[in-house]
Structure 1
Amino acid sequence: MLSIKPFRRLWVALSLSSLGDWLSILALVALAPSVTHGSNLAKTSSISGVWVVTLLPALLLGPIAGALADRLDRRVTMVVGDVIRGLLFISIPLFPNLTWIFVAKFLAGIASQFWNPACAASVPNLVPKDKLERANQLSQLMTYGTAPLAAGLFALLGWLSTALGHGIPFFHANKVDLALYFNGASYFVSAIAVYTLRQIGKREHSGRISVPSTAKAIWEGWRFIRHTPVVRGLVIGMLGAFCAAGVVIGLAPSYIQSTLDGGSAGFSLVFALILIGLAIGMGFGSRPFGDFSRRRLFGVTLTASAVPLTVIALVPNLGVVALFVFLMGVVSGIAYPTGFTIVGLEVDDDTRGRVFAFFQSTIQAILLAVIAVAGFIATGFSAAIGAVTGSSNGEVKIAHITYGAPGDNLLLLLSAVLVAFVGIQSYRQLDDRKGVPLLEDLITAIRDEPLKRVPAAPAADGQQPHGHAGLFLAFEGGEGAGKTTQARLIAIWLREQGYDVVTTHEPGATKIGMRLRALLLDTAHSGMSAHCEALLYAADRAEHVAKIIDPALERGAVVITDRYIDSSLAYQGAGRGLPTAEIEMLNGWATHGRLPDLTVLLDLAPEAGLSRRARSADRLEAEPLDFHRRVRVGFLGLARAEPERYLVLDATAPFAEIGQQIKDRIREILPDPVPHVSEAATGSFPAIPDHVPDEVADPW
């Protein structure tokens, strides 16, 4: 991506701008208490004030600035925004008073509200459409990935300030001022990089942005969420977690710098560790869990994050706090993207934007409110505890541990209780494997052992899955795996051995199924909801079983179907993110519990399978590569769950070799198997002709 010169310049500007944003927060959080005179409450309030003026522009002016930025020359908007922010931050060391800190940070935030949407809307005009997703991912990486870099830079500037001393005229050499000067310089360099970008200017339709008002985003998102249990469970968990995050953010500077005697260096260290933990959790944290349900994973990790937060609240030691802040970052880093992934899979395209807007707007509002009041609540707790214990300086000693600011510790402990509560509630609402013990399920996923499936539901009349006289074979696999070809060749082979063979497929094997197939696979219906899709496949399958599969099996035929229930479990379950247990129960009801005697799974990497297609012929084939990767994982998980009923084969092997392996396995379960040595004599001509004269068929 960085080989594209225009995008590289914009990426450099974005990286410098993001670095400046994070560095300014660190510098101003450290500077505000030092220029505030009065009690500890006043100093704590100054830190809360920095966070308030940081978040307030996005909450109040984001929609207005986004709409205006969509109508202005983007290059000019970004250059002017960078210059204004640079001048504002350079002015703070020259006029170091609390009022100007708040005013400058607020004005810089307003400039950012114009700069950010102009940058986001410019990206589609600088890269090919097929690389847009990667470009956005790289942009997001630098938006958040520069935070640990800013923390490290802030610590380095502390060492540099000691080396420089204080002998430079008109230049304050403490690390806060150095950070602000560096901050201003980064914005100026960003402005130069954007100025050289002639490829961006006034808005083009492809890069147009639309930002709803905060109130409208919250209301429209909530109207959808309150009727969707899964998303409602996510809302409970994520908003509760961000309440706790607001407490941690609001209390961290004063708690670490003053109570734990960590100073600004200690705060920078803790700030860097939690961000590094978040990056590790987001990037690698979910890998050890393998195929473990992502819905369960969200609830488990959210609840688990309460453990390090509890330790942080109970043990006022800088080393312990630093270690457990890092662990909390790792666990939270797993939960956060997992939650948003579930939203992306659960919510259809028409409403996904409103739901994400609800999350973003509500999270901003909650963070702003909690950060603003956390310091005051903690101070009130400390005063109340001091009055009860009779402590003159506010310190409390419990079990040989001295708490210098007990209100901070109590509020952090209450935040841990809140996180544990919302984590448990989210887990209960999101659990898609009810009846399967959590610990056993977790160990199975980590060890990559066969998964346990939830039994299919019986028919509505209470009948259990019934037996049959024939043989039921299903061929499954991803796109381009060759299952249709192998099913046809096996049918020919079985007919040559004298068997009554019925070949069929899903969807569309019946008259009703043909109409359902048109709805399901037509690319014009790309916005179909996942629930609607699952129901239509189940309806096709119910008609398929009733009209074709059951009658053929009852008369003793061998039925070979190209796709069956496992396709729904893989595509709508693993692919779309719907609960597997619900899909299995739905299809168990639709088919009266009819399951294949053998399922042949042809396994092939999605990249290879899709490349075998000249074009995306239907709606499912046209899905992105990540969708097909999830489908493959779903198929393999089902096969591991019931290895006795599956034959998993490498679809990259030669066709003849695959066919022979299938024949060897089928021969074991045929009702009247043909000896292997006799196949050479009968395999060259059909044992039963397609048409038999009446006098031969009935000589009597």
Structure 2
Amino acid sequence: MSTPGRAGARRKTPHVLANAPYRRLWTAMSVGGLGDWLTIIALTALAAHLTAGSGYRTQSLAIGGVFAAKLLPSILLGPLVGALAERFDRRATMAMADLVRFAVVLSIPFVGGYQWSIIAMLLVECASLFWVPARDTALAGVVPKERLGEADRLNLLAAYGTAPIAAALFTVVAAVVGAITTVARTASLPAAGIALGGGALAYLVSAALIFTLRGAPGDRGPQVPPPSRQISVFRQIADGRRRTGGGAAARGAVTGMAAVLAAGAAVVAVAGPYVQALHGGDAGYGAVFCAVFLGVGYGMFFGPRLLAGLSRRRLFGLAVVVAGLTLAAAALIQNLVIVVMLAALLGACAGVAWIIGYQVVDLEFGDGQPSRTLPYLRSLGRVVLLVVLAVACALAGLFGGHPTSEPGLGYRFDGANLVLLVAALLVVVAGLRALSRLDDRRGVPLGADLLAALRGEKYAPEAAVATESRGLFVAFEGGEGSGKTTQSRLLAIWLRDQGFDVVQTREPGATKVGMRLRAILLDAAHQGLSARSEAMLYAADRAEHVEKVIRPALQRGTTVISDRYVDSSLAYQGAGRSLDSGEVVRINAWATGGLVPDLTVLIDVPPSVGLRRIASAADRIEAEPMDFHERVRREFRGLAAADPERYLVVDGTLPQQEVSRLIQDRVREILPDPVPHEAEAATGTMPAIRD
């Protein structure tokens, strides 16, 4: 297939890791993250060993104490330490915190005792509270402001991507120690002691990397830790609840995200006693821990790419429900191999839910700024983890162990099983609630939608319509003053220059009937028009538009570029006028015969910016209050997040030439072959020319 050449291609921007100071800092974060995970895995395993002879209840509560010591300092002391950290040298603060963590962790196997393990965990976390704000300030000194978003994503990889590596290392160490113990038939140092030595070594390496770091702000200059570091987690949660309080979608997303986080926390909380009951030992515990986090990584990376034909919001709700069912299966099927596999599936569901849920909550804030969304979700996650870990360990301990008295029957129902079943029930309920609140394809059967996605298709009642179209259909969407009209015209000019036959059109008003409807819909004199009447008038214009302009052009093989289409009704009448989105979808699906654009370009501009660009007198829609336009923008962004394969979201505040270049790059990927297939087939029948 031949395609137009890439004119004026620019040199690719170097990856942020090409920045040597950031690369060294990121390496230190990764090594330090490995030390964090090795420490918590080893300490929980050590707590189980130290209390193994004290009964199931004591063992469960001891493990819960380690998790509480891990999470409490950040919740109670985070704002205080964040304010103190700015008074010290950044690089020295990070290096000293790493050295403190190295010394404390190294001392645990030698000092011994459960009490010192708890104290050591508290000291390690307090040192980490100084390390994190100093790192954030150092990042601002080594990474350009426009690359901080890319750096943040890599920082998350450094913090959480090392968890399965640490768990795998612990599993290997435990398996080797177990094998040596079996062969030698003698007592051996628990694997936890060796893992703690590895964690201490990781902190020492991190300190060396930080000490040799160059290019980062070393002194206590005017830069300070991010404001979120100086605000308590409870205030951040309250602020986030206030921001999302009016959005059902965001509330459903937060509920689902908290549910899958609670599911993972429940597994981690009772994994130690549960695996011991299944005779899995330390190696089995490490395998379960590793499976959960490997699943999370897989779900975050691959999950949204799977089932491309399914709405992302529906996928979110289904992921939460499947996580709950998986948790129930893990509670009832007492086979270590199957439990490990179920843990991986649970992690994958959690990864899918978090990556999609984050997008939904971020869109609800209106401006898509991670600086607002991330602190809220991070704080909520800490509190949920602490509460679930404490309650799960306490409930498991209070219920105790209950092996069956029947001879030859190895099944048992302990506190761990009870915790997993209770958590499974709550997660399934939260998933069903999230699915009902976030469903953006009401009226489309969920089963049929899922089956079509499994076949690699997208369910549509009028599936035959897609086979009629031979041309390319591109729709432009956006709020008032976004620049979509200008960009649709520029794209049409560019495509014609490439030799394509192009029909440029708009809504409303592309037909004779549409022109009359446009006069009614946009005339400021018609302020009394009801929301339902407005929605049906737009649908009537669209039906005429598709029947008279779009479909005939597509059947001729022409490229159609439309300024607005169905998504405008979903945003303006559905969200802006607060109509039922399912009804708006059904009306427009019937009006268009199910015709969907091949690509929808969303020019995203804050309403405060777009409305200032309008020089002429405001029409009936433009004259709506600011909160109306904010709802419209949120809905547009939500639609794009729900179907990322069909959307291109472009920042409309960029220079006009940059916006055009981004659009052309995406359209170039889907352009049809300018040489018709029939012509290529005909050349194959021509005889070869011989001398």
Q: Is the 8 A contact 1:476 1:599 kept in 2?
A: no
* Alpha-carbon distance in 1 for matches of 2:196, 2:132: 21
Paired position in structure 2 for 1:369: 387
Q: Is the 8 A contact 1:84 1:111 kept in 2?
A: yes
Give a deviation string over 1:1-56, Cα, whole Å, max 9, x none: 33221011101110111000000011111112333363332222211111110111
Paired position in structure 1 for 2:23: 8
Match runs of 1:133-172 below 5 Å: 133-158=149-174
Deviates more, 1:373-382 or 1:201-210: 201-210
Q: Is 1:100 the counterpart of 2:119 in the alignment?
A: no
Give a deviation string over 1:588-620, Cα, whole Å, max 9, x none: 99x9x996899896859999xxxxxxxxx9999
Alpha-carbon shift at residue 501 of structure 1 (Å): 8.8
Alpha-carbon shift at residue 325 of structure 1 (Å): 1.5
Alpha-carbon shift at residue 239 of structure 1 (Å): 2.5
* Alpha-carbon distance in 2 for matches of 1:563, 1:291: 25
Letter in 2 for 1:633: R
Paired position in structure 1 for 2:646: 633
Q: Residues 581, 475 of structure 1: CA spacing in aligned structure 2 closer, same or farther, 3 A cutoff?
A: farther
Name which of 415, 418, 422 aligns with 2:426: 418
Q: Is 1:226 the counterpart of 2:245 in the alignment?
A: yes
Paired position in structure 2 for 1:285: 303
Q: Is 1:239 the counterpart of 2:258 in the alignment?
A: yes
Match runs of 1:56-67 below 5 Å: 56-67=72-83
* Alpha-carbon distance in 1 for matches of 2:494, 2:594: 14
Paired position in structure 1 for 2:336: 318
Alpha-carbon shift at residue 543 of structure 1 (Å): 10
Q: Is the 8 A contact 2:265 2:385 kept in 1?
A: yes
* Alpha-carbon distance in 1 for matches of 2:167, 2:672: 60
* Alpha-carbon distance in 2 for matches of 1:236, 1:653: 38
Paired position in structure 1 for 2:193: 177
Alpha-carbon shift at residue 107 of structure 1 (Å): 0.9
* Alpha-carbon distance in 1 for matches of 2:437, 2:337: 37
Q: Is 1:337 the counterpart of 2:355 in the alignment?
A: yes
Match runs of 1:344-423 below 5 Å: 344-349=362-367, 356-382=374-400, 394-396=402-404, 401-423=409-431
SS of structure 2 residue aligned to 1:449 = coil
Structure 1: tracts of 5 or more residues without a match: 166-171, 384-393, 455-472, 495-499, 516-534, 608-616, 637-649, 662-700
Q: Residues 2, 422 of structure 1: CA spacing in aligned structure 2 closer, same or farther, 3 A cutoff?
A: same
SS of structure 2 residue aligned to 1:339 = helix
SS of structure 2 residue aligned to 1:198 = coil
Paired position in structure 2 for 1:427: 435
Match runs of 1:596-615 below 5 Å: none
Give a deviation string over 1:85-126, Cα, whole Å, max 9, x none: 011001111100111111111011011112122213322321
Name which of 9, 15, 34 aligns with 2:49: 34
Q: Is the 8 A contact 1:505 1:562 kept in 2?
A: no
Deviates more, 1:359-368 or 1:183-192: 359-368
* Alpha-carbon distance in 1 for matches of 2:83, 2:643: 37
SS of structure 1 residue aligned to 2:270 = helix
Paired position in structure 2 for 1:253: 272
Paired position in structure 2 for 1:19: 34
Paired position in structure 1 for 2:658: none
Q: Is the 8 A contact 1:606 1:629 kept in 2?
A: no
* Alpha-carbon distance in 1 for matches of 2:25, 2:302: 28
Paired position in structure 2 for 1:526: none
Q: Is the 8 A contact 1:148 1:276 kept in 2?
A: yes
* Alpha-carbon distance in 2 for matches of 1:428, 1:605: 28
Paired position in structure 1 for 2:143: 127
Q: Residues 572, 89 of structure 1: CA spacing in aligned structure 2 closer, same or farther, 3 A cutoff?
A: farther
SS of structure 1 residue aligned to 2:112 = coil
Paired position in structure 2 for 1:198: 214
Q: Is the 8 A contact 1:568 1:583 kept in 2?
A: no
SS of structure 1 residue aligned to 2:306 = helix
Alpha-carbon shift at residue 505 of structure 1 (Å): 12
Give a deviation string over 1:524-575, Cα, whole Å, max 9, x none: xxxxxxxxxxx99x999989999xx99xx9xxxx9x99512246379999xx
Alignment: residue pair count: 561
Letter in 2 for 1:118: A
Name which of 63, 66, 69 aligns with 2:85: 69
SS of structure 2 residue aligned to 1:210 = helix
* Alpha-carbon distance in 1 for matches of 2:362, 2:346: 24
Letter in 2 for 1:447: R
Q: Is the 8 A contact 2:460 2:594 kept in 1?
A: no
Paired position in structure 2 for 1:443: 451
Deviates more, 1:314-323 or 1:394-403: 394-403
Alpha-carbon shift at residue 75 of structure 1 (Å): 0.9
* Alpha-carbon distance in 1 for matches of 2:423, 2:233: 26
Q: Is the 8 A contact 1:28 1:101 kept in 2?
A: yes
Q: Residues 655, 328 of structure 1: CA spacing in aligned structure 2 closer, same or farther, 3 A cutoff?
A: closer
Match runs of 1:532-611 below 5 Å: 562-566=562-566, 568=568
Q: Residues 234, 250 of structure 1: CA spacing in aligned structure 2 closer, same or farther, 3 A cutoff?
A: same
Paired position in structure 2 for 1:300: 318
Identical-residue share of aligned pairs (%) = 30
Q: Is the 8 A contact 2:292 2:347 kept in 1?
A: yes
Q: Residues 137, 80 of structure 1: CA spacing in aligned structure 2 closer, same or farther, 3 A cutoff?
A: same
Give a deviation string over 1:269-293, Cα, whole Å, max 9, x none: 1111121112111111222210311
Alpha-carbon shift at residue 155 of structure 1 (Å): 2.8
Letter in 2 for 1:452: A
SS of structure 1 residue aligned to 2:444 = coil
Q: Is 1:188 the counterpart of 2:187 in the alignment?
A: no
Q: Residues 91, 210 of structure 1: CA spacing in aligned structure 2 closer, same or farther, 3 A cutoff?
A: same
Alpha-carbon shift at residue 654 of structure 1 (Å): 14
SS of structure 2 residue aligned to 1:395 = coil
* Alpha-carbon distance in 1 for matches of 2:522, 2:179: 78
Alpha-carbon shift at residue 397 of structure 1 (Å): 6.0
Q: Is the 8 A contact 1:250 1:375 kept in 2?
A: yes
Q: Give the TM-score taking structure 1 as reference length.
A: 0.68
* Alpha-carbon distance in 1 for matches of 2:669, 2:173: 60
Q: Residues 424, 141 of structure 1: CA spacing in aligned structure 2 closer, same or farther, 3 A cutoff?
A: same
* Alpha-carbon distance in 2 for matches of 1:140, 1:154: 22
Q: Is the 8 A contact 2:312 2:642 kept in 1?
A: no
SS of structure 2 residue aligned to 1:476 = strand
SS of structure 2 residue aligned to 1:349 = coil
Q: Residues 162, 629 of structure 1: CA spacing in aligned structure 2 closer, same or farther, 3 A cutoff?
A: closer
Alpha-carbon shift at residue 396 of structure 1 (Å): 2.4
Paired position in structure 2 for 1:672: none
Q: Is the 8 A contact 1:53 1:105 kept in 2?
A: yes
Q: Residues 503, 192 of structure 1: CA spacing in aligned structure 2 closer, same or farther, 3 A cutoff?
A: farther
Alpha-carbon shift at residue 581 of structure 1 (Å): 9.2
Q: Residues 656, 348 of structure 1: CA spacing in aligned structure 2 closer, same or farther, 3 A cutoff?
A: closer
Alpha-carbon shift at residue 263 of structure 1 (Å): 0.8
Letter in 2 for 1:34: H
Letter in 2 for 1:308: T
Give the structure with higher Rg (CA): 1
Paired position in structure 2 for 1:51: 67
* Alpha-carbon distance in 2 for matches of 1:577, 1:186: 51
* Alpha-carbon distance in 1 for matches of 2:330, 2:644: 41
Letter in 1 for 2:426: L
Alpha-carbon shift at residue 324 of structure 1 (Å): 1.5
Deviates more, 1:173-182 or 1:142-151: 173-182
Q: Is the 8 A contact 1:10 1:194 kept in 2?
A: yes
